[in-house]
Amino acid sequence: MRGLAVLAVTPVLAGLLSTSVASADGSSGDPIAVGSGGGVATVDADATRIGLEVLAAGGTAADAAVAAAAALGVTEPYSAGIGGGGFFVHYDAETGEVSTLDGRETAPAAMEPDSFVDPATGEALEFDRAVTSGLSVGVPGTPATWTAALERWGTLDLGEALAPAEQLAREGFAVDEEFRGQTQINEERFRAFPATADLFLPDGALPEVGSVFTNPDLADTYAELGHQGVDWLYEGELAGEIAATAADPPVDPAATIPVAPGLMTTDDLAAYEVVEREPTHVDYRGVDVYGMGPPSSGGSTVGEALNILEQFELSAKDPVQALHLYLEASRFAYADRNRYLGDPDFVDVPLEALLSDEFAAQRACLIDPDKAAVSPVPAGDPAADDVCATAPSGGADHEGPSTTHLVAADRWGDVVSYTLTIEQTGGSGITVPGRGFLLNNELTDFDFTPPPPGEPLPANAPAGGKRPRSSMAPTIVLADGEPLLALGSPGGSTIITTVLQVLVNRLDLGLSLPEAVAAPRMSQRNTEDTIAEPAFLDSELRTALEGYGHSFVPAPSTFGPQPEIGAVAALEFLDDGRVAYVAEPERRGGGSAMALDK
């Protein structure tokens, strides 16, 4: 199936493409590049350039991905960095194997199901208070992920992979509207932490657009990490600093924001391990879709929704019907996600059943091709034999909209799809003093409120050593055993619908990959209303889908004045042996794709 036919785009769909696709010359800042010798796509031109330079010097896709990710820790410090975690999906061209690394953050051993309950009130902490706290900080997994990926699939050692990002941190990068805007929305809480304010509010003010932002502390941290190795962070001096900062956040005495202490110890850091997990896998209309398994819900929920959609005919000739079914498949798959997904080392996740064709048929039988269901719909029962069986729904989620994603491929055909994060934009807001990076707030992804006495804990309840449920969905698609697509996105719980919609746009509606990425998005996550971007809200499709009973509201304005959902980086292997690398043309300020020729 390599070389998907690009069907004629209907006038309605064509009108929805809010931005024209750029020329594929691969220059800095372009969102599209095509080449035969490897390439990279990220949200940032500096990170993409660094990844490409690694490929040009003979590095592998894994080498390039780690180097680019380290650069994103410099230029996208509010979305990713060594204080966070992520999921790394890799295709090995020599073996044909898709592998995944779980570098998700882990709860300290002292965490309990009621750790997010305020003892003074008996109620769960307000979300914002939980975010900006030591209590929300999980043991970082990103540095261990980089080391594991390089040892398994790379040619560089950690120091070599970090060197370009170290230089970038020392020399600095130009502040744009996006970086200033993200700093501004965090300004109040950043001022509560002297180390954070000193770093991100130079001279006590927001960084000016066009100024050069340097981070010599992070440069020194990268240099030392490269020299001493990852044990320095998990068992050495830096481990002690991370644990102390999370356990007793250094707060400005004049700050009015209450900051709860954390539970992390050096033992928690020393115990951290990257876990190689089996990828999720579904066959969708003749291609093989691989994703990240639990504790991420990305692979399972994308996979279940695709299985549900496969019960129906989707056609570019009827995009309204196709998008109605996309929304309904998302709605029902999300009900199951919220009910069953959690850390598989702590809960029994019925993954095989959730991804079975039988269960997809059970869920599809509840979908009316001509009418939207009313949310919240109940979860399905994968163990039931009854057609259309249901079960109680699970809890809601609090995932932050930040995070970042990159894709890379090398001259040998290896592919990486990698999503990494520190959770909210700005993470916990807490900087490790003198080290130049923010700590995550990933533990707010747990369900905060324990159930009433006598009722079982939800799958995503907090526990010591447990990894919170995630929506990150780094994805690789194979056709006849060869790579076809790779993609992923930031966006909290909208990551799943973003990846799913791009796949539907490409595989079912016949859009080219750049068009599939640029097309306006909507996200239904088993809620009463579906959030959507302005270009969709102003379109004929909105009116047509409202005729099915769908209700739409604007997506939040997270990173700038325009509401937006996700920020995709993707690639596609073409018939002529080249690969197209695609980043966002506008979202998050526009991404960057670059490619080499052999």
Residue-wise pLDDT for 131-184, tens only, equals 999 999 999 999 999 999 999 999 999 999 999 999 999 999 999 999 999 999
| Burial track 323-338 (b if 16+ CB lie within 10 A, e otherwise) | bbbbbbbbbbbbbbbb
CB under 8 Å, gap of 24 or more: what pairs does 377-385 form? Answer: 377/331, 377/332, 377/335, 377/526, 378/335, 379/335, 379/336, 379/338, 379/339, 379/340, 380/332, 380/335, 380/336, 382/336, 382/340, 382/350, 382/353, 382/354, 382/356, 383/350, 383/353
- pLDDT for the residue numbered 8: 33
85 beta partners: 421
Mean pLDDT of the region 235-245? 98
| Burial track 246-274 (b if 16+ CB lie within 10 A, e otherwise) | bbebbbeeeeebebbebbbbbebbeebeb
Q: Given a cut of 50, is residue 408 above it in pLDDT?
A: yes
- Say how many Å lie between the first and final Cα of the chain, rounded: 24
% of the chain residues with pLDDT over 70: 92
Cα 280 from Cα 584, distance rounded (Å): 26
How many other C-beta atoms can be found within 10 angstroms of the C-beta atom of residue 58?
A: 12
> What sign does the dihedral 88-432-560-42 (CA atoms) show?
negative
User: Predicted confidence band at 395 (pLDDT cuts at 50, 70, 90)?
Assistant: low
Mean pLDDT of the region 219-241? 98
What's the token pair of residue 563?
Answer: 């509401």
Q: Given a cut of 70, is residue 396 above it in pLDDT?
A: no
What the chain holds in terms of domains, given with CATH numbers, is 11-114+126-272+398-595 (3.60.20.40), 277-391 (1.10.246.130)
Cα 347 from Cα 341, distance rounded (Å): 8
- pLDDT for the residue numbered 309: 98
Q: Which of 42, 196, 403, 497 is catalytic?
A: 403
How many other C-beta atoms can be found within 10 angstroms of the C-beta atom of residue 169?
A: 28
Cα 219 from Cα 226, distance rounded (Å): 11
Q: Given a cut of 60, is residue 541 above it in pLDDT?
A: yes
Residue position matching structure tokens 């598989």 = 344
Per-residue pLDDT reduced to its tens digit, 409-468: 999 999 999 999 999 999 999 999 999 999 999 999 999 888 888 899 999 999 999 999
User: Predicted confidence band at 520 (pLDDT cuts at 50, 70, 90)?
Assistant: very high
> What sign does the dihedral 396-398-402-405 (CA atoms) show?
negative
Mean pLDDT of the region 56-78? 98
Q: Given a cut of 60, is residue 492 above it in pLDDT?
A: yes
- pLDDT for the residue numbered 401: 52
How many other C-beta atoms can be found within 10 angstroms of the C-beta atom of residue 97?
A: 11
Q: Given a cut of 50, is residue 25 above it in pLDDT?
A: no
Comparing 8-22, 265-279, 283-297, 403-417, which segment has the lowest mean pLDDT? 8-22
Angle between helices 61-75 and 216-228 (to 10 degrees): 150
Q: What average pLDDT does the structure give for the chain?
A: 92
- pLDDT for the residue numbered 532: 97
Q: Is 559 exposed, middle or buried (0-12, 13-18, 19+ CB in 10 A)?
A: buried
Q: Is 171 exposed, middle or buried (0-12, 13-18, 19+ CB in 10 A)?
A: exposed
* Helix (H/G/I), strand (E/B), else coil: 168: helix
403 is catalytic: yes
User: Closest Cα to residue 250, out of 94, 387, 370, 429?
Assistant: 429
Per-residue pLDDT reduced to its tens digit, 547-597: 999 999 999 876 555 789 999 999 999 999 999 999 999 999 899 999 999
Cβ(315)–Cβ(323) below 8 Å: no
pTM: 0.94
Please tell me which residue, 495 or 452, carries the higher pLDDT value.
Answer: 495
181 beta partners: none
Per-residue pLDDT reduced to its tens digit, 187-200: 999 999 999 999 99
- pLDDT for the residue numbered 29: 64
How many other C-beta atoms can be found within 10 angstroms of the C-beta atom of residue 345?
A: 15
Cβ(552)–Cβ(529) below 8 Å: yes
- pLDDT for the residue numbered 387: 65
Q: Given a cut of 80, is residue 394 above it in pLDDT?
A: no
Q: Given a cut of 90, is residue 17 above it in pLDDT?
A: no
- pLDDT for the residue numbered 109: 98
